[in-house]
């Protein structure tokens, strides 16, 4: 790449998991072919690359500046608060 920071998703190194993630690879390739404008307007992160090393599938995305797990935890707390208020 060009020295830009990126986020990588690296799947498990097993044959069975490799087969399960085949669809994910097809979708990533489809998104790479769509183009940045279409993906951004639909709030989809554009995969920069998708490749295989042994039985690992590796996906490269732009880095958006924070840890995904922090966002998931925050969203989870919001969902629980809303559910609590509804009940």
Q: pLDDT digit string (tens) for 16-73? A: 888 888 888 888 888 888 878 888 777 778 889 999 988 899 999 988 776 666 766 7
**The two three-digit tokens of residue 78, written as one number:** 């919001």
Spatial CA neighbour of 48 closest among 6, 3, 16: 6
**Which residues are CB-contacts of 14 (< 8 A; sequence separation ≥ 6)?**
55
What is the model's pLDDT at position 1? 52
Provide the pLDDT confidence category of residue 87 given band limits of 50, 70 and 90: confident
Per the CB < 8 A criterion, the answer to whether 45 and 39 are in contact is yes
């Amino acid at each position: 790449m060009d020295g830009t920071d990126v986020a990588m998703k690296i799947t498990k190194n097993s044959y069975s998991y490799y087969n399960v993630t085949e669809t994910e690879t097809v979708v990533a390739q489809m998104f790479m072919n769509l183009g940045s404008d279409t993906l951004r307007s639909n709030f989809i992160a554009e995969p920069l690359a998708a490749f295989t090393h042994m039985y690992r599938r590796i996906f490269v995305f732009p880095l958006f500046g924070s840890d995904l797990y922090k966002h998931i935890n925050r969203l989870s707390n919001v969902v629980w608060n809303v559910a609590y208020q509804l009940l």
